[in-house]
Amino acid sequence: MKTSPVVYCFKRPEEISAETLDQIRNLIREGSGVGTSWVMENLKKAFLIAYAEHEGKVVGTSTHKYPQKAYREKIEAATGLDLEGYLERGYTAVRSEYRGSGIGGRLIRGLIERSEGQRVYVTIRLDNRPPLKMTYREKMVLAGRFINERTGREIGVFVNQLPPEKSPERIEGPVNAERP
């Protein structure tokens, strides 16, 4: 029996049907381990959404989105980085039965290719090996780190282009990773 191929899509939010956006939101809620209260709002305002479909079902997703200002400022305060003007890579999730097949990497590579010239950052728990491997594979570098005050876990901030440090009057301290 021959299986159908996985189809990769890279679209602006307004180009995606409501049904597909719902599938993407549900996949993010099921498997990406991030705060989900603002998912749909962030998706609708994203720069670019990548998703993989197999037999009519969304099986993977990743997004280049405009970060919530308050969250970005907390990261900047904790790390001393200046991330203004950066897109945030987020909401990367792949259904468990499809993991290890390269879907996440293809989605991220496609986003990078279609976001040429854009500065991008991503925050990842430093003990979460699979997304760290994908991030390093796509040549993003660790620019800063902080402790998430809600979970107590160390979070890395990875970038595709190194940002300048913020001015010396930065505020140091933990950041709550629950994103608005």
Q: What CATH number is associated with residue 33?
A: 3.40.630.30
Partner residues linked to 165 by β-bridges: 81
Residue 46: inside a domain? yes
Beta carbons of 68 and 38 less than 8 angstroms apart: yes
* pLDDT beyond 60 at 169: no
Whole-angstrom Cα distance, residue 143 to residue 105? Answer: 21
**Which pLDDT belongs to residue 39?**
87
| Per-residue pLDDT tens digits for 28-42 | 988 755 666 688 888
pTM of the full structure = 0.83
Lowest mean pLDDT: which of 34-43, 72-81, 98-107? 34-43
Partner residues linked to 144 by β-bridges: 157
Residue 25: inside a domain? yes
Domain carrying residue 49: 7-159
Total domains in the chain come to 1
Residue 112: inside a domain? yes
Residue 177: inside a domain? no
Residue 81: inside a domain? yes
Where do the H-state alpha helices sit in 12-155? 18-31, 39-44, 69-79, 103-114, 129-137
Tokens of 134: 């994908």
Residue 140: inside a domain? yes
* pLDDT beyond 70 at 103: yes
Residue 49: inside a domain? yes
The mean per-residue pLDDT over the stretch 101-118 comes to 91
* pLDDT beyond 70 at 175: no
Whole-angstrom Cα distance, residue 130 to residue 54? Answer: 22
User: Kind and range of the H or E element at 4?
Assistant: none
Question: How remote is the C-alpha of 55 from its chain's centroid?
Answer: 25
3-class secondary structure, 98:
helix
* pLDDT beyond 80 at 174: no
Residue 174: inside a domain? no
